[in-house]
Amino acid sequence: MDGVYLTWLISALAVGVFLMPYFKPPWAKLTLTGFVDFIRRYWLHLLIALVIYNAKDWLDQIDRMLMARTGLDMTPYIYAIEGDLVVLFQDAFRAAWLDVFMTHFYIAGFMFITYASIFYVTYFDDRWMADRVALCVAWVYLLAIPFYLFFNVRVTGFYIEDMDAIAYTLNPEIEDWFRRIDAFTNCMPSLHIAVPFAIWLTFRKHDHDGRWNRFQNMTLGYIILTAFAIIYLGIHWFVDIIGGMILATFAVNLMEKTNDPVWKFFDERTINSRLATLLTRPAHSASLLFGRIKNYAKTWLKPTSKETGTFIVVIMILTAAVITWDLTHNELPAEGVQSAQGAVASEGWLATMDNQSGEAIVLIHDVADPLSNPTTVAQPLMQFDSPYALFENYLVMANDSQLRVIDVDTPNAVLLQQDVTGIQSLQMTSLQGRPVVLYIANDALHAVNIEGQDVQVPTLPNSETIHLMSVSGIEILLVSEEQPDTLRIGTIGTSGSLNIIMNASTTEEQNLELEEWGQTVDDNNASIEQVSFDSQHIAVRMNVSALDRMVIYDRSTGEQWLGFDPIYPVGNLSMGYGYVVWEAKDHYNPLSFTDKYGDWEIHQLHLATNYSEQLTSDTIDQVNPIALEGGLAYIEVEDDGEVTINVLTRGTELATYSSIVLQWSVLLLIALTFIYIMQRQDEVRSTNIIHDNALESE
């Protein structure tokens, strides 16, 4: 657990205990035994709070993947309403001391108000308020779920150029903590407003004798200060505050309607007796349970609007769950692959190197239909580390002694075959509309066209040894062993090149953190290990001894920056179609290893907006991502060693089963909504008739 988080948590708990004498009811007494008794009396109330706290992290993980895969983003509409109003607000009050104070207040204050509101009423045994406060907080979180999953609004500090995300960037430790627990897309509605506002409304309405007046007034003051903080810190929009208040109002109304039936069943006093009965008289308990189920089932034989409304809500929840599952699990395994060892892609085609009973077999897949059977090709005898590359519909392969090019549309026909030894790397592109193969052999760069004729390529000065290359269009990037931090940009058909020195250094503070983990950083001897680029950007993976870092270079401005947190390792990367995709071990700490952060996960960066998002989240490795048009492909390694290659498509297109569920749900909801409206009218009419008859009898 992070040091800063422990500081916030302990501070919130300490302040809550310290202020108990001030906020307690006038006649109440403080005793040490009370700290034990309240847990025994209200363990279920406390459990509800704990479940909500843990469920928030789980929902944030789902939201991250849903946002990254579908692109559901309502922020432009919010910005169209507010414009730069939050920027003017932040600039008007900006001060260094306020940055620090408001950041700590934002976290520790919310911890205090959430736990103290339940802690005080349970410690002083006010069950009337404890039931209502715990339930209204639960309803706030439940009502927020659909907004957080399907109405994503980004934080202001990461959306508006002139707005600073003060809280998220106050220092590296806080920044890392926020990155781990916050999706940065859950602005609407603001729970920092909704939760305390619901608590305040509950106390205001149900504290009949005024015993909690001091706490109620303090909560109102907290809400006002929090509203200031969430705007000032570059987190929320003004409309998020309105959304939080409206959500809180609905939560309190639902609490009032559900309070009696919920606590009739979940009251700790009756639950304890029911558990005792279950353990001592199981047959009697089973008989009672069966009887209640039977009686409840009878109500569905003659349903009222209550049962119909329940059925409508259940259908909506189940439908939303199916759609959410589909949109967060929309990757499809490429068919026919036994154990993928690598992959390349281009223009709707995917080529995988598959381990089939110990043989290295190249398979061709149609990205648009990954479930279709793959095609084998007229390949030479290859090893698992043999190079191969795709360009449009051309596949080039090489073994120890031969280079071969085929057209994937006619996979058994060889277009070019040459005897070449010592090929270390392969790429393919086109020059004047004709395919060109580029390869590094014996530490030298060569190129031939589809007719087997040599093509001029850039050369490195001073006979430097080529370490790696990357090709895009007619441009080629080269890295030499003598200058491993320098990119040489050249053009196929010419001999000259330009130099770009890449920089993977970061702050001394972050380097010291790595050294505390036993990882020595050597920025001065950084070396480029992988390059991917297009006409606008260059993505580079650089080794700095301790780990590999990703650097992004803007070719139009000459600006370069670290594309991922520099204290966590980056693996293979790929650029294409406006995205950079890469594998990384986010939040990986070798001194406190956990499965959750110890595996490789796939991330993406949208270059136009500079938004980075995590696409996978589990405890198994996803590696070797490849950018595709409208998505990406990657290799997944299960715990049992099974290896598959998955194709993930971005967007909101649903699978067949989800579409069928959605269609049937719509039809059912039309009928049920009609029935519900008719039932409500009949019930109101019956009530009015009874009321009128009673008046006439008087």
Question: For the residues of 595-661, what is the DSSP string, one character each?
Answer: HHHHS-EEEEEETTTTEEEE---SSSEEEEEEEETTEEEEEEE-TTS-EEEEEEE-SSPPPHHHHHH
Crossing angle of helices 127-150 and 43-70, rounded to 10°: 10
pLDDT of 33 higher than 70: yes
Tokens at residue 692, please?
């009128």
pLDDT score of 444: 86
- Are residues 459 and 383 both part of a single domain? yes
Flag whether 442 is in a domain.
Answer: yes
- Are residues 180 and 75 both part of a single domain? yes
Q: Residue 277: which pLDDT band, with cuts at 50, 70 and 90?
A: confident
Average pLDDT, the chain: 87
Single residue among 435, 466, 496 that ends a domain in this structure = 496
**In the chain, what percentage of residues exceed pLDDT 70?**
97
User: What pLDDT, in 10s, does the model give residues 444-482?
Assistant: 889 999 988 888 888 888 888 888 999 998 999 999 999
Q: How many domains does the chain have?
A: 3
pLDDT score of 693: 61
Q: In whole angstroms, how far apart are CA 495 and each of 37, 61, 183, 451, 688?
A: 83, 49, 48, 21, 93
Residue 389 sits in a domain of what CATH number? 2.40.128
Q: In whole angstroms, how far apart are CA 155 and each of 54, 159, 244, 374, 399?
A: 22, 6, 15, 44, 51
User: What pLDDT, in 10s, does the model give residues 569-594?
Assistant: 999 999 999 999 999 998 888 877 66
- Are residues 219 and 296 both part of a single domain? no
Tokens at residue 416, please?
């070019």
Tokens at residue 3, please?
């040091």
Nearest to 653 by CA among 681, 682, 630: 630
pLDDT of 698 higher than 60: no
- Are residues 180 and 303 both part of a single domain? no
Range 268-278 average pLDDT:
76
Nearest to 394 by CA among 431, 351, 448: 351
Q: In whole angstroms, how far apart are CA 481 and each of 381, 529, 551, 565, 572?
A: 30, 11, 19, 26, 20
For residues 311, 312, 318, 324, the Cα torsion angle rounded to the nearest 10 degrees is -170
Q: In a 3-state reduction of DSSP, which class is residue 542?
A: strand
Q: How many CB atoms lie within 10 A of CB 340?
A: 23
Instruction: Return phi, psi of residue 559, to 5°.
Output: -80, 140
pLDDT score of 645: 85
pLDDT score of 668: 93
Q: Residue 552: which pLDDT band, with cuts at 50, 70 and 90?
A: very high
Residue 420 half-sphere exposure, CB side, CA atoms within 13 Å? 29
Single residue among 496, 524, 558 that ends a domain in this structure = 496
Q: Residue 532: which pLDDT band, with cuts at 50, 70 and 90?
A: very high
**In the chain, what percentage of residues exceed pLDDT 90?**
40
Q: Which residues contact 394 (CB under 8 A, 6 or more apart)?
A: 405, 406, 407, 408, 415, 428, 435
Flag whether 83 is in a domain.
Answer: yes
pLDDT of 688 higher than 60: yes
- Are residues 443 and 407 both part of a single domain? yes
Q: Residue 326: which pLDDT band, with cuts at 50, 70 and 90?
A: confident
Cis peptide before 189 (omega within 30 of 0): yes
Q: In whole angstroms, how far apart are CA 64 and each of 8, 94, 372?
A: 25, 31, 30
- Are residues 139 and 57 both part of a single domain? yes
Nearest to 579 by CA among 635, 625, 621: 625
Flag whether 458 is in a domain.
Answer: yes
Range 532-547 average pLDDT:
93
- Are residues 144 and 40 both part of a single domain? yes
Instruction: Return phi, psi of residue 625, to 5°.
Output: -70, 145
Flag whether 482 is in a domain.
Answer: no
Give the distance, in angstroms, between the CA of residue 620 and the centroid of all CA atoms in the same chain.
Answer: 16
pLDDT of 44 higher than 70: yes
Q: In a 3-state reduction of DSSP, which class is residue 578?
A: coil
Distance in angstroms (rounded) separating the CA atoms of residues 572 and 681: 63
Instruction: Return phi, psi of residue 361, to 5°.
Output: -115, 130
Amino acid making up residue 666: V
Selected residue with higher pLDDT from 597 and 195: 195
Residue 482 carries which DSSP code?
S
Q: In whole angstroms, how far apart are CA 258 and each of 49, 255, 598?
A: 17, 5, 43
Most confident of 174-178, 196-200, 644-648: 196-200
Single residue among 439, 469, 496 that ends a domain in this structure = 496
The full length of the chain comes to: 698
Instruction: Return phi, psi of residue 8, to 5°.
Output: -60, -45
pLDDT score of 270: 80
User: What pLDDT, in 10s, does the model give residues 171-183?
Assistant: 888 888 888 777 7
- Are residues 134 and 178 both part of a single domain? yes
Q: Nearest 5°: CA angle at 13, between 11 and 19?
A: 95
- Are residues 189 and 299 both part of a single domain? no
Q: Residue 561: which pLDDT band, with cuts at 50, 70 and 90?
A: very high
Range 25-50 average pLDDT:
85
Tokens at residue 289, please?
């349970």
Tokens at residue 216, please?
């109620």
* DSSP-assigned states of every residue in 295-323: HHHHHTTS--HHHHHHHHHHHHHHHHHHH
Q: In whole angstroms, how far apart are CA 606 and each of 217, 271, 411, 657?
A: 46, 52, 35, 30
Cβ contact 434:450 at 8 Å: yes
Q: In whole angstroms, how far apart are CA 372 and each of 175, 203, 334, 369, 678?
A: 44, 61, 8, 6, 50
User: What pLDDT, in 10s, does the model give residues 483-529?
Assistant: 999 999 988 887 777 889 999 999 888 888 888 888 889 988 999 99
Tokens at residue 63, please?
């939201």
- Are residues 269 and 311 both part of a single domain? no
User: What pLDDT, in 10s, does the model give residues 222-250?
Assistant: 999 999 999 999 999 999 999 999 999 99
- Are residues 309 and 193 both part of a single domain? no
Flag whether 11 is in a domain.
Answer: no
Cβ contact 563:548 at 8 Å: no
Q: Residue 691: which pLDDT band, with cuts at 50, 70 and 90?
A: low
**Structural domain of 132:** 35-275
User: What pLDDT, in 10s, does the model give residues 135-182?
Assistant: 999 999 999 988 888 888 999 998 998 899 999 888 888 888 888 777
Instruction: Return phi, psi of residue 622, to 5°.
Output: -120, 120
Distance in angstroms (rounded) separating the CA atoms of residues 332 and 310: 35
Q: In whole angstroms, how far apart are CA 536 and each of 55, 429, 458, 532, 556?
A: 41, 18, 21, 11, 7
pLDDT score of 438: 92
Taken in order 24, 29, 33, 38, the sign of the CA dihedral is negative
Flag whether 85 is in a domain.
Answer: yes
Range 427-437 average pLDDT:
89
Flag whether 365 is in a domain.
Answer: no
Flag whether 612 is in a domain.
Answer: no
- Are residues 318 and 407 both part of a single domain? no
